[in-house]
């Protein structure tokens, strides 16, 4: 089962995804576009991907979760890029969906992540890292982020 349950964020258990899409396209939805797209993708996944394949995906995800949990333990963190590029201009992030894997990986695993700004690039746009740990270790990711911010100066206005 997917860790991130889209239905929890939509009314009527997400069954009105077509209504939400229409509402978004006509400017009447209170939901953000990404949420509507996630709901549509989840519906397509459950309809068109056979249960046996879904189970295989779940097994791969569970194995990755177990492997990373064994490597990190209760006191380890993984420092990972937030994104392969610096911050994008408003509205430009939707064109390259593959880059969401940098963000979505830990969501799927159910691991806590704290994003930490390292500073600005040569164009004045923010760059940063995400600090991930095993489930229920939020305090550790926050503590590491605070230490990184001390070294790099933390967030600065672009």
Task: State whether residue 116 is helix, strand or coil.
Answer: strand
**What pLDDT, on a 0 to 100 scale, did the predictor assign at position 30?**
75
How many CB atoms lie under 10 A from the CB of residue 27? Answer: 6
Instruction: Tell me what pLDDT residue 101 has.
Output: 74
Residue 4's pLDDT is 46
* Predicted local confidence at residue 84, as pLDDT: 77
Give the pLDDT means over successive 10-residue stretches in the chain (158 positions): 50 66 81 76 85 94 97 96 74 62 84 92 86 97 96 80
pLDDT at residue number 54: 92
The pTM of this model reads 0.73
Number of CB atoms found within 10 A of residue 112's CB: 19
Burial of 46 (0-12, 13-18, 19+ CB in 10 A): exposed
Q: What pLDDT is recorded for position 15?
A: 62
């Amino acid at each position: 089962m997917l860790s991130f349950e889209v239905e929890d964020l939509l009314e009527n258990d997400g069954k009105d995804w077509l209504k939400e899409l229409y509402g978004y396209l006509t400017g009447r939805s209170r939901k953000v576009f990404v949420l509507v797209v996630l709901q549509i993708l989840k519906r397509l996944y459950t309809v068109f991907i056979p249960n046996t394949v879904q189970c295989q995906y779940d097994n791969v995800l569970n194995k990755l979760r177990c492997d990373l949990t064994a490597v990190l333990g209760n006191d380890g963190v993984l420092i990972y890029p937030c994104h392969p590029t610096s911050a994008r201009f408003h509205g430009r992030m939707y064109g390259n969906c593959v880059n969401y894997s940098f963000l979505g990986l830990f969501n799927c695993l159910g691991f806590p992540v704290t994003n930490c700004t390292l500073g600005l690039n040569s164009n004045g746009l923010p760059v940063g890292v995400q600090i991930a740990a095993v489930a229920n270790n939020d305090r550790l990711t926050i503590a590491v982020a605070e230490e990184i911010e001390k070294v790099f100066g933390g967030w600065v206005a672009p």
